[in-house]
Structures are given as C-alpha cells and as structure tokens.
Structure 1
Amino acid sequence: MAQQKDNRIFKVLLAVLLLALIGLGVWSYSTYQENEGIKVALKDEKAQIQKELENISTEYSIEIDKGNALNADLVDARDRITRLVDSVGKLETDVRVLSRMRAELSNIRKERDLLQDRINTLEIVNQNLSKVNDSTLSALNSEILKNQDKNSTIENMNANMARAAALVPTNFEPVGIIVRSSGKQIENDRARRVDDIKVCFTLPENPLASTGVTSFYLQVINPDNNVLGLNKKQVFDGQELTYSKIVQFNYKGKELDLCEVVDANEDNIIKGRYRVNLYNGPIRVSSNEITLR
C-alpha cells in the first residue's frame, strides 16, 4: 500500500517536472525569438541612420562643388560625417551604439539646417548685391554721359565698390601628378608614383573685384599633418599661416583659370588623405581634399 502511494507521488512529481521543463523551453524559445527581433530592428534602424548621414554628406558635396563661400565649413561637416559612419560601421549593432548614432544624427541635422540657412542667406545677399551693383553701375554710367566733370567722383565710388567685392575662387581641384622628363604632367592617385600635387581653380568674372597683381597662399597638408612645398610661415594681423606656395596672378576682372604645382619632397608623398587650402591673406577662400592610394 505504501509502495503504491510512493509511486503515485513519484508520478506526480515527474509530471510537474515535465511541465516545468516544457514551460522553460517555451519561455526560452520565446525569449530567443524576441531577442532576434530586437537585433533585426536595431540593425535596420542603424542602416537607416547611416543612409541619412550619407545623404546629408552628398548634399554637402553638391554645395562644395558649386564653390560655395562656406566651402571650409561644409568640408569640415562632411569629414565629421564620414568619420562617424566609418567608425560606427565597424562596431556591432547594440543599444549603446544606436543611441550614440541617434544623438549624433540629431546634432548633424541641426548643423545642416544652420548651414542651409546661412547658404540661403548668402544667396539672397548676393542676388540683392548684384541688383544693387547693376543699378549703381548703370547710374554711374549715365552720370558719365551727362557730366564728364564727375569722372573723379565716379572713379572713387567704383574703387570703393571694387574693394568691397570678394574674389572667391571656384572649381578648386587638387590632383596628384607624375612629371615626365619632357615636362608632361600625368594625373595619378598612387602615392608611390606621384611626384607633386597640382591644384587648379577658376577666378570668376567680377567687374567689382580689385584688378592687378594679387597673391594667394596655397597650403597642402599630408596625412602626417606636414605642410608640403616651401613650408614657410607668414603672419597676418598676429595670425601665423604656414604655406606651401605663393600664387601670384594678374587679375583683370575677367574669368581666369589657374593651375599651380607644389614641389613636394618625395618622402612626404604618402598614402592617405591630403587637405588643400587656399588663403587670401589670413582668410581661407577655398578648400578641398584628395586621397592617394
């Protein structure tokens, strides 16, 4: 009798244990599925954020290609996005990484809106300035026809307007080149073959810009943060600029295409990203970069 009672207790305990194991298995499977779903959702959101960052970077590249006056700020903003995407892309997707990307994306959106507002404002100012300049020049020409005695006053006014006009280069493009013994230059992006860095740009037609011989300062910085070329210093109003080459040209108010070769030491031509800047005195007027393989 006692043995039958023990058997019944054992069977009950076995059933309870079996039910517990089944329940544990169901819970484990459900938890695994839920975790897998979360991983997929995190991965999808990370891809969406990366795509939006790449789109913003493309927007900046379009504005940079236009030769925008804010080129330096746009290049810096694009570089930060590139570094963020590169660094985060190498990390495993988790809540911490995604949280960081959300925060960075929010900041980049705000920065993009501010830059776009500045670009829009500059476009409006330039349009209005162009209209004012056209009407002013027209009025001055009319005055010349009416009264030759006003020539001196008109010339002074035109000179003041010319000094106020900024000469901003466009199509600022650096490339690596191989220099043949014949002097022929061939573009190349392999560091071990490149001899020098050539930089070309266009000075647009601007009747209000100062004419005559003008000097810009070209600066080429290699991946080791060394300034190529002359590597000399110039001080402007207490600000020190290390430059690679002085670019001199005779500007006559018409469109002018310029190309300059920076004589680089071969030891300083290495693989990586090169930053190229153009300064009018202490003011950076253009910026771009190249990468040598």
Structure 2
Amino acid sequence: MEQKSNSSLKAIIIVLAILLVGSLTYMYKMSTENEEVEKSNEALMSDKEILLNDLNTAKASYDKAIAENSGLKSELEAERAKIEQLIAEVKKSKGDVASLRRFKDDYRRLKRDMDNLMAENKKLKGENASLTAERDSTRNALDQSRMYNDTLVSQNENLSRTVEKASKLTIVNLKTESFKERSSGKLIATDKASRVDKLKISFTIAANEVAKSGSRLYYVQIIDSKNNVLGDKKTETFGDYTLTYSFTTNVAYQNKTMEISEVLPGKDFAKGTYFVNIFDKDQLVANSSFSLR
C-alpha cells in the first residue's frame, strides 16, 4: 500500500514538472515574440522616418531649383506637389509593412522623375550660362554701335515729331450762327431760343503744304445748356475714349485753305450757353461757344 502511494506521488511530481517546463517554455516564447514584434515596430517606425527624411530632402531640392526661376519652373512645381502629397500620406499612415512598401515604391518612382528633371534643369542652366557669356562677350563690341544708332534714332524721332506736328491741320474761325427758316426757305438770323430751328456751323482749315492731301473726317459735337448733345447723338470709340457727336463732315483736303459750313436743323432749343467742339478722331482741334436767349 505504501509502495503504491509513493508511485502515485512520483507520477504527480512528474506531471507537475512537465507542466512547469511547458509553462516556462510558453512564457519564453511569448516574451521572445513580443520582443520581435517590438523590434519589428521599431524597424517600421525607423523606415517611416527615413522615408520622410528622404522625401523632405527631395522637396528641399525642388524648392531650391524653383527659386532659381529656370525655364522648367512649372514642371518642377508639379513634381514638388507630388512629393508634398506623398509626405502627407506617409505622415497619416500607421507605418504598416504594406503601406510602407507602397510608399517606398512611389518614392522610388518620383525619385527617378526628379533625377531626370534635375538633370534637364542643370543642362538648361548650363545652356543659359553659355548664352549669357556669349551675350556678354559681344556687348562691349555693340556698345559703340548702339550709341551711334541711339543718336540717329533720337534725331529721327525729333525729325518725325517735327514733321508730324507740322503736318497737322489747323482749324480756325470756328463760329456758330442761329437762324429761323421762313416758308420761302430764307434764313433769318435770330438768337431767340424759341424761334431758332437752324444752326450754321462754319470753320476754316488753314493751308498746309506739309500735310497729306486726301479725305479728312471731322466729328462736330454741339452741347446745349442742359449738357445734352444735339443732332445725331451717335457714338464712336477710339481706344479707351468714346465720343458722342452731333454730325460728321467729310473734307477732301488739297493742301489749300478751305471754308467749311454745315447746317444742323432742330427745334425746341433751350436758352443758355452752347458749346461747339470739333474732333479729329479723339483729338479736340477746335472749340467755341454761343448763347441763345
């Protein structure tokens, strides 16, 4: 009986020893796996930081190249934007293996594009430097010639301005007369606003042998005392300037003195002072005023 009890005790001790060894083995394995996971996580975080450093270095290279304002500025800015986008994605990621592998692939592709673009930018800078050196080497030789040409240009410009000024036509003796037309067609001079139904505008174009002969169009503008434009009230645009005019008169100029006379019919003329302006395109060449009572 005692021998049987000892055997059972030994069996229990052996089982407990086996369980203890198993437990210790499991705990060691779990500890080792945790350490490996921690090391793996640390490695992933380290890879993430290295990738971010590489991306920031690439961005800095683009910043420097863009600041040089080369001919590839728009292409450089577009590639920098891709780098910035990838930096933002890497920062938001949890650093898992799959994501980092994809990000590294993206970076390698962008790095190849960057290397090619930087090489092209360097080549372009070299070509520009050569062109600049070539330009500088010829500048001294051109200075004397340029000074001589500038003198000639200045003389020609002065001469052109003198000829242009001399060739302008001069309008003189601008005057306006007011009339009442009778049934017979006879015009009776009057300055009474209620009776006036005709305005006669006349002026003289002085002779000018320097001016070109040919057709000349003048715009006549008559403004009443209420600041209304009389007549056709048409508009013409000259660049940024818009002119509202009463009528036009077309003159066949032959370098001789010419007397021009036009009649503007109307009714219900207001009392007060009227202003008459004559324009050659957008240039005011003559003006006068008259009054109706």
Q: TM-score range by the shorter chain?
A: 0.3 to 0.5
- TM-score for the superposition, normalised by structure 2: 0.46
- TM-score for the superposition, normalised by structure 1: 0.46
Larger RCO: 1 or 2 (CA < 8 Å, sep 6+): 1
- Larger Cα-atom Rg: 2
